[in-house]
Structure 1
Amino acid sequence: MVESAQTFDKLPSVQQLVNHYNTTLSQTHLRELLNDENRNQHLRASLQNQDGSEVILDLTHVKVDEAAVKLLHQVTSDVQLHEKIEGMFTGQKLNNTEKRSVLHVALRMREDETLIVPDSTEGDAVKNVHEVLKRIHAFSELVRSGQVKGYSGKTLKNTLILGIGGSYLGPEFVFEALRQDASSKQAADGRQLKFLANVDPIDFNRAIQGLDIEETLVVINSKTFTTAETILNAVTVKNYIINHYKNLHPDVEDTQSFVQAHFCAVSTNLPLTSQFGVADDRVFGFWDWVGGRFSVCSAVGVLPLSLHYGYENVRDFLSGVKSIDDHFRNTHDLSQNLPVLLGLYGFYNTHVAGHNTRSILPYCQSLLKFPAHIQQLDMESNGKSVTKEGVRFTDGAQAGPIIFGEPGTNGQHSFYQLMHQGRVIPAEFIGFSQSQTPIHIDGYPVSNHNELMSNFFAQPDALALGKTLEQLKAEGVPEFLYQHKLFTGDRPSLSILFTGKLTAFACGQLLGLYEHRVAVEGFIYGINSFDQWGVELGKVLAKDVRNVFADKEKGQDVDVKSKFNPATAYLLEKYLEKM
């Protein structure tokens, strides 16, 4: 490791990489690079699955040459990437600001594996994980089979998840991804799963709409059971259930029995869950080495998804993530390590090439919630400007791009205009060789899925190659439209192709690729990707505003001018006049 460099941008390999890009690659068009098949063949990597399918990563449309690739590999050596990856799998306290291990990989480990958490009394993390998984398996089967019922004796066919951030975005992504998977769809027949995340009362009304509350099991996802939004929503749902049953059974005084029949929780705070009314045997724990945005493989995701899709399908999902864990940890040939390559070329596009935005473009409608999950996963992890050691980045050095995305081809009719003729936004295309729900209409030249995938293959070329003045002239385009129809091209992208369909296993693989990609980029930047101090300040300031609202609701006079800056005080007074 280069010890003299305090921040990543001072590493000689990084500086050489930036210089090479500025002096050579920025002057070389992707049209020229793509015509070099010797170059191209070194920018493809794949992972072979046991069923014969592959996960293929195509980096040919990134603006790199052989020299840039060598320098990127030098960067991994300079930051001791292999050592840091191994440190994550062995429980080193990579989250140094909170003095915690980062062990979401333990959530996917096989039961015959062992991982003793260093400097901890909890013992074998893998054993503890599988004890919770067995409880979830047993409980979810009791609910799904109708042996565990609601207060009125009805089968609990509906699941309502209360959570926010990673306790919501991760499970929702997987839920949507598997809705049209044949095995998962069959297992979920006759069931509903809904989410309540926002403290906005509109979200509550949207969530309960169409639900028979007597057939609904509520899952509260809150590690500490103190998350403000989640607990307020939990109390709101609790009161709704109590009022429902009190109207039906006005003589029943013990409302606790209403609550116990319809609530379970994922939390580590048994005193508070018990105080709320959740029975202890319906509380499923996880550990402080699981960050919220990495928690979908914990009880946070496994419990509600098992209730809806059945444990076997969720187990396949976990196996898919595990396959990427093993590949990531054990593939020391960096030219074939998919998460490492994703991280390296993400870093390259962001810092070296200077593009501060990244678009996630799944050509699969079932992945409609994947960009939102990756937005949180990446931006909350790597949206930092200080090293793990507390050294602030120098001016001009930034970590973490802005993430957004939309399934194709919807996005093509939304923001691709800007991507083609406006700002340069590195794109990441995700596709599958087969559809979850194939359709082929007689008389049409291709199936619906192939119509979709024709765009998956065309868009990277359209971004890279563009359209020249010579081509426009040859097509007979009127001269006054030349500049309007000119596409400069030279816009980078990468593609991930799964040579099968989106199954639970493939869904897990996709998640694993991006989880580890985030870690790799964080390791290169030298930051702590596993804390999130940036979310704290707003919460603190919100308490001051909440206190003003509380006083106002009590009928007390409030003086906002003495408590807030003039700009905020003005708008706040306008709100108070009409609240």
Structure 2
Amino acid sequence: MTLGSTALKDLFAHDAGRVENFSWEAAGIWFDWSKTHIDAAQVAAGVARLHQADFVEWRRRLAEGEVVNETEGRAAEHTAERGTGAEDSVAIARALHARMRGLVEAIHQGLLGEISHIIHVGIGGSKLGPDLLVDALGREHARYELHVVSNVDGMALKEAFGRCDPHRTLLVIASKTFTTSETMLNASSVIEWMEEAGVEDCYGRIVALTADPDKALEWGVDETRILPFSDTVGGRYSLWSSIGFPAALVLGWDAFADLLAGAAAMDRHFMEADPARNAPVIAALIDRIYVEQFGCQTRAVFAYDERLRELPGYLQQLEMESNGKSVDHAGKRLAMPSAPITWGGVGTDGQHAVFQLLHQGTVIAPMEFLAVIEPGHDLDEAHHLQLLTNCLAQASALMTGRYSDDPARSYPGDRPSVTILLDRIDPVTLGALIAFYEHRTFVNAVLIGNNPFDQFGVELGKQMAREIAESGAGHMDPSTANLAKRIGI
């Protein structure tokens, strides 16, 4: 089975310079796209398509803080948190970072009392970003034990309570509007838990991360412990703002500053590099090739490093909430497929679970492998060697396949994959990697023609949940009404 008009093995056979032409370094990260069906002609066609879609202008608007979120009339200023944006926005971001740093250092000095645990309540980007950062970077040198709770299911909080001392716990509430129902209910339950344990001045142990500081003030949080961020920073792009406070607190301010520096390096690459040698651009062009030309409806991301286990989940929100749309900027139905479904996990676990389908199934899923040269542990080097050899072997096997007279043991090959190779996992490299995915998502949006910065698709279900809570489900469809009756709502 050959996915493209030319098999991957033949692309290598016909182009001795293919590896050099389709792999290079950007912002300290090595990208290898050579095991995909892209070629020079498709790059040229993709760059021409970007020109027709006014990509340079859209990128300029993003970089200079002009309106790119047209449905809400807003800029998207996450890059301003890293130093690229409108002058005033960059200045405000720096001032808010200085405020955050002051609170981080005050807590480190014990000015909020003795703290050993942090319960961070937030959902969506307010959860996924901090969780990814601390899990990837804080395994050995974390100053505090962080518990990130997003699910409104009380079992999530009960698990955190079982691991925390209420007298030594800091509550961090992350909500852009400070009205997110799941987050505010979880926050109230944490306070109740602290009060029942006899903690004095529970509100003195709360930090609020929000774009609406007045709401946090009304809720009872002291002004000195409210860390604002701009409402032009979207939730899934917000870890660079005060939403990253838990990471700065657990890892230290220097680590957070390095994270911003790494992202800024990728910003410069994206803004300045020629499109044909621009990592986010090439990645997006490949995404479009497989979705549009070959009808691939998913993209699998497998991290061959335990420290990046949260990355696939982070990317699910980033990519599917950004580009899972059905209309263009003018509100007209899209003439092409939107974002594919992003999914994945960690290697080598996936090899013994889902890779059967990837190698021999009838569904073709472009793969993305992430590997790290330097291990994060000092155990026998055989651990890391086996991990990396498995990563390389899987990518090669997907492409080359292997014929057998026994059909059940025959591998068709020609399954595409990209390999992203990091020298090490540190704040700088992780910042660059996350920024790469952000810009890739933006380029995809330009190619699709949709707005990647709104998310109205998440609103209807929340609205209907409120309606059921307020007036019951009798007015809903018969199935929902019957289920609600059985539940007792």
* SS of corresponding position for 2:485: helix
How far apart in 1 are the matches of 2:360 and 2:414? Answer: 11
Name the amino acid aligned to 1:287: S
Q: Which letter maps to 1:413?
A: H
How many Å apart are 1:373 and its aligned residue?
0.4
Q: What is aligned with 1:179? A: 138
Q: Which residue of 2 aligns with 1:32?
A: 10
SS at match of 1:449: helix
One-letter amino acid matched to 1:544: E
RMSD (CA atoms) = 1.7
Shift of 1:105: 0.2
Aligned counterparts of 1:44 and 1:412: Cα–Cα separation in 2: 25
Residue among 88, 111, 118 paired with 1:147: 111
Give how far 1:25 is off.
Answer: 7.3
1:440 aligns to 2:380 (yes or no): yes
Give the counterpart letter for 1:38 in structure 2: G
Q: 1:233 aligns with which of 170, 179, 186?
A: 186
1:59 to 33, 39, 54: 33
Return the letter of the residue paired with 2:414.
D
| Paired AA for residue 297 in structure 2 | N
TM (norm. structure 1) is 0.81
Residue 280 of structure 1 aligns with an amino acid whose one-letter code is: E
- Partner of 2:302 in structure 1? 361
Pick aligned residue for 2:86 from 102, 115, 120 = 115
1:490 has 2:414 as partner: yes
Question: Which residue of 448, 451, 455 corresponds with 1:528?
Answer: 451
In the alignment, the residues of structure 1 paired with residue 159 and residue 397 of structure 2 have an alpha-carbon distance, to the nearest angstrom, of 40
User: Do the aligned partners of 1:159 and 1:307 also contact (CA within 8 Å) in 2?
Assistant: no
Matches within 5 A, 1:357-506: 357-394=298-335, 397-422=336-361, 423-440=363-380, 447-468=382-403, 472-473=404-405, 482-498=406-422, 500-506=423-429
- TM-score by structure 2 length? 0.96
**Quick one: percent identity of the two aligned structures?**
33
| Cα offset, 1:457, TM superposition | 1.1
Runs of 5+ unmatched residues, structure 2: none
Aligned to 1:138: 102
Residue 271 of structure 2, aligned match among 329, 336, 342:
329
Q: Which amino acid aligns with 2:34?
A: T
The reply on whether 1:204 has 2:157 as its aligned counterpart is yes
| Alpha-carbon distance in 1 for matches of 2:324, 2:30 | 28
Q: Which residue is equivalent to 1:220?
A: 173
2:30 is paired with a residue of what secondary structure?
A: strand
How many angstroms apart in 1 are the aligned matches of 2:213 and 2:82? 25
Which structure would you say has the larger Rg?
1
Matching residue of 1:573: 485
1:166-187 Cα distance to aligned partner (Å, 9 max, x none): 000111011111024xxxx33x
- Contact (CA 8 Å) 2:3, 2:294: kept in 1 or not? no
Conserved? CA contact 1:434–1:501, under 8 Å:
yes
After TM superposition, give the deviation of residue 114 of structure 1 in Å.
Answer: 6.8
Structure 2 CA distance for aligned equivalents of residues 77 and 270 of structure 1: 41
Offset at residue 448 of structure 1 (A): 1.4
Other structure's SS at 1:242 match: helix
* Residue identity in the other structure for 2:385: N
Contact 2:359–2:413 (CA under 8 A) maintained in structure 1: yes
- C-alpha distance in 1, partners of 2:255/2:4? 47
- 8 Å CA contact 1:213–1:241 kept in 2: the answer is yes
Structure 1 counterpart of 2:288, which letter?
A: F
The DSSP-based 3-state class of the residue aligned with 1:406 is strand
Q: Is the 8 A contact 1:351 1:399 kept in 2?
A: no
Q: What runs of 5+ residues in structure 1 fail to find an aligned partner?
A: 1-23, 117-123, 150-154, 247-256, 442-446, 474-481, 550-559
Question: How far 1:548 moved relative to its partner?
Answer: 4.4
Which of 24, 32, 40 is the equivalent residue of 1:45? 24
- The alignment of Structure 1 onto Structure 2 pairs a total of residues equal to 486
- Are the equivalent residues in 1 in contact too, given 2:138–2:250 (CA < 8 A)? no
Deviation by residue 1:506-563 (Cα, 9 ceiling, x = unmatched): 11111011011000100111100000010111011111211246xxxxxxxxxx54x1
- 2:322 pairs with 1:351: no
Is the deviation greater in 214-223 or in 345-354? 345-354
Deviation digits for residues 42-75 of structure 1, max 9, x if unmatched? 212212x6xxxx4111111111233222212211
Match of 2:64 among 74, 90, 111: 90
Contact 1:259 1:277 in 2 (8 A): no
CA distance in 2, matches of 1:71, 1:274: 53
**Shift of the alpha carbon at 1:356?**
0.9
The verdict on how the C-alpha distance between 1:168 and 1:508 changes in structure 2, with shifts beyond 3 A counting, is same
Give the letter aligned to residue 81 of structure 1.
F
